Structure 1
Amino acid sequence: MTLNWFAQAFRLKGSVALTVLPRSLLFGMFGFLVSLLHYFYPLLSLKVLGDLTTNVVFNLVLGLLLVFRTNSAYDRYWEGRKAWGQLVFNIRNLAREIKLGIAASEPADETEKQIALRLLVTFALTTKHHLRQEPVGREVSDLIPETQNSMLEGSRNSPLEITLWLGDYLQKQFQHNHLDSMRLVALNGMLSNMVEGLTSCERILRTPIPIAYAIYLKRLILIYCVGLPFHLVDDIGWLTGISLVIVSFILFGVDQIGDDIENPFGCDANDLPLDSICDTVKTSVDQVIEFMPVGDRSLPLAFQSEKLEQLELE
């Protein structure tokens, strides 16, 4: 456990150290220049600037803004994770209900059902690309017919387009008496929950934290780091630069973490693992597709051929 703790402490992947270190070193050089200037020309008159930036009121405001920045960014991250958790939940339930609740008396009906189930995986994948503002990838084209893939490429909101296709499929199954009215209402409710999850993610993406907070916080950090060496140089002399590197590294790091997790749908190490979540959706839907009910008992697909051979022998 001790080794794991140190490995985590010195880990670079997912850390903001490499991002903030150049800024911290720059301020460390500034602290060294202040020490050098103070050595030849004592900066007693500028010590007032350092005292102003290290007083209780200034530190309190800076601390509160840092806490607000971090909490606001993490709230957005956690809300995005909950939205994707609900998406997975509703996709699994909708896949199960489509598989077991919609009758498929003809091979064509079964083919339509398979396409509808794969559309659920496509919904998760297109939602990921939509939030990352990426074009629909090859992984989507392998799941759906070419005509639907062409329509998705020209769509302004491909996940919403898929929910329209699924809603149309459910309505047609109801019209063909493959689905009763109560189950149709339940399935449409799950589909509406999927749209709600998509909308929640879009709201997080398109409603950033007000820029005034980010600007004001960065200005306070800048003022603090500029004034701090004038406060320290009388007491620690040549160590001022090293102290400034450490202090600025802490402040810049907290601010950078807020910047990194403010939009949780990207591809960085600190963003949500959307690729892994989409793989989970695909695995779940594939499991539903492979499940084949036989008579009064439901057996996995692996046992289907064996069961059919037994029935033929009888």
Structure 2
Amino acid sequence: MQKHFQGFNGLLHLRGSFFPIVLPRVVIFGIFGSYVGWLFQREGSIDLTLLGLLTENVVCNLVLGLLLVFRTNTAYDRFWEGRKAWGDLVTNIRNLVRLLRTNLISLEGDAKAERDRILQSLSIFIVCTKLYLQKGELDALQSASQRKLGLDHLQVDPSTIVKLKAAQNPPLEILLWVSIYLQKTCEQGHLDSSQRSEMNALVNQLVEALTVCERIQATPMPSAYILCLKLLTLLYCLLLPFALVEKLGVWTGLVTAVISFVLLCVEAIGAEIEDPFGNDVNDLPLNEICQSIVNMVNDAIVTRPYKVQTAAQTVPNLQALPNAQTSPNAQAFPKASNDLPTRNLSSTDLPMTGLPMTDLSSTPDPSPQGRSTPKLTKPFIQSNSQSNSQSNSHSSPTYPIQPTIQPDLPAL
């Protein structure tokens, strides 16, 4: 049973809830609805329902509903777009730190210290972006003020803070330092052109994500739209008791409070999440995101390169091995074709690709009954063109073959 009601525990939490925001207005509308109900019970001859015709109008209800939905959807689009922009910032910073750490792993001395300063500047970049969007002071980057930002282990040189204060756009100034460092290391030969282009592409994506955040922060909802929505909501909640008093009587104040609470909560959601870069509970968790980047950069700086130790592989000398360890098939094959064993082969031993050459020293019996099978002294293959030129004085070359078992040929 406790499992089914576990989702209702958050209803009693005031942190992040809109109840404290809309409660004063809900109480006012409830008291006003109760007064209308009391007035209707006391002065029964007065017809107050005429004032509630506006709330019963379909056009008025439809316009108010569309305005509330459009307000909420627009605010959530801004919130989600800001979250995607910060996701791009985190992804690109991680990739850039990884490439800087791996491509410049062989640096030593001052070059290594400069590389570590650039890596540390990327963690400063994400914190400066947060302060820039919240219109905060860069003095918060000092060690004494980092606790207020919820940050730990962020190393910032005082001269860096002075340079950032002089810049109009501190996050963009840090990205300019990174681009200059990539150009210098490429000119020094520590990076090739492909590596520099890959890391410059990541810097460009950081600039693009920063621009998206600036666009969201610098483009609020139009004031005319917000004022119109607030005015319509106020009129609807004030005229609602006059439409309910005839049927509800003394319960008009309670029902009015409930309906106004729903409308005001929907309107407050849009007002709360339209600026996702603030410090409120319902805004993006920028402090946690910044702390994750700071920890990742510190780990990348102190991480030692991992070296794989491989044992040297030696090739054994086959000539030094004893004869007993040699392969048993080594003696099964002759070294040259002249070393092939010579034996008398019958026509059954010859392949199908050629005809057997007979030894003319043995004269067979011309009669069919006395025809005998000639003997061969050297196996070889003779092609059709060679068999047609047997009458010439030139002898055809012979080629040794491995003795194989073939089907029987007809006896000549």
Structure-1-length-normalised TM-score? 0.90
Asked if residue 272 in structure 1 is aligned to residue 308 in structure 2, the reply is no
Structure 1 segment 38-77 matched on structure 2, within 5 A: 38-42=40-44, 45-77=47-79
Structure 1 segment 6-155 matched on structure 2, within 5 A: 6-42=8-44, 45-102=47-104, 104-139=106-141, 142-155=154-167
Flag the structure with higher helix content. 1
The CA deviation at 1:102 is 2.4
Question: CA 1:62–1:43 in 2, change beyond 3 Å: closer, same or farther?
Answer: farther
Instruction: State the distance in 2 between where 1:178 and 1:105 align.
Output: 8
Determine helix, strand or coil for the equivalent of 2:299.
helix
Residue identity over aligned pairs, in percent, reads 44
Instruction: State the distance in 2 between where 1:86 and 1:174 align.
Output: 26
Determine helix, strand or coil for the equivalent of 1:106.
coil
Question: CA 1:35–1:97 in 2, change beyond 3 Å: closer, same or farther?
Answer: same
Q: Conserved in 2, the CA contact under 8 Å of 1:121 and 1:282?
A: yes
In the TM superposition, what whole-angstrom CA distance separates every residue of 1:243-277 from its partner, at most 9, and x where no partner exists?
11111111111101110000000011100000011
Q: Which runs of 5+ in 1 are unaligned?
A: 298-314
Instruction: State the distance in 1 between where 2:84 and 2:165 align.
Output: 28
Task: Give the partner amino acid of 1:87.
Answer: L
Structure-2-length-normalised TM-score? 0.69
Structure 1 segment 202-281 matched on structure 2, within 5 A: 202-281=214-293
The CA deviation at 1:140 is 5.6
Task: Give the partner amino acid of 1:273.
Answer: P
Over 6 Å off, 4+ runs:
none
Shifted more, 148-157 versus 221-230: the winner is 148-157
The CA deviation at 1:43 is 6.9
The CA deviation at 1:45 is 3.9
Task: Give the partner amino acid of 1:293.
Answer: P
Task: Give the partner amino acid of 1:233.
Answer: V
In the TM superposition, what whole-angstrom CA distance separates every residue of 1:127-179 from its partner, at most 9, and x where no partner exists?
01111100124446652322111111232211111111111111111111111
The CA deviation at 1:55 is 2.0
Question: CA 1:203–1:43 in 2, change beyond 3 Å: closer, same or farther?
Answer: farther
Shifted more, 127-136 versus 1-10: the winner is 1-10
Q: Conserved in 2, the CA contact under 8 Å of 1:102 and 1:173?
A: no
Q: Conserved in 2, the CA contact under 8 Å of 1:54 and 1:224?
A: no
The CA deviation at 1:228 is 0.6
Q: Conserved in 1, the CA contact under 8 Å of 2:34 and 2:252?
A: yes
The CA deviation at 1:3 is 4.1
**What residue number does 2:374 align with?**
none
Shifted more, 191-200 versus 153-162: the winner is 153-162
**What residue number does 1:308 align with?**
none
Higher relative contact order (CA 8 A, sep 6+): 1
Task: Give the partner amino acid of 1:144.
Answer: V
Determine helix, strand or coil for the equivalent of 1:15.
coil
The CA deviation at 1:63 is 1.0
Instruction: State the distance in 1 between where 2:192 and 2:63 align.
Output: 61
Question: CA 1:188–1:35 in 2, change beyond 3 Å: closer, same or farther?
Answer: same
Task: Give the partner amino acid of 1:211.
Answer: S
**How many residue pairs are counted as aligned between the two chains?**
297
Q: Which runs of 5+ in 2 are unaligned?
A: 144-153, 310-412
Structure showing greater Rg: 2
The CA deviation at 1:53 is 1.7
Shifted more, 265-274 versus 27-36: the winner is 27-36
The CA deviation at 1:119 is 0.6
Instruction: State the distance in 1 between where 2:56 and 2:218 align.
Output: 37
Instruction: State the distance in 2 between where 1:2 and 1:92 align.
Output: 41
Question: CA 1:223–1:180 in 2, change beyond 3 Å: closer, same or farther?
Answer: same
Instruction: State the distance in 1 between where 2:76 and 2:30 align.
Output: 30
Instruction: State the distance in 1 between where 2:107 and 2:58 align.
Output: 76
**What residue number does 2:189 align with?**
177
Task: Give the partner amino acid of 2:237.
Answer: C
CA RMSD of aligned residues (A): 1.6
Task: Give the partner amino acid of 2:138.
Answer: V
Q: Conserved in 1, the CA contact under 8 Å of 2:40 and 2:48?
A: no
Instruction: State the distance in 2 between where 1:33 and 1:43 align.
Output: 16
In the TM superposition, what whole-angstrom CA distance separates every residue of 1:267-292 from its partner, at most 9, and x where no partner exists?
11100000011111112222222322
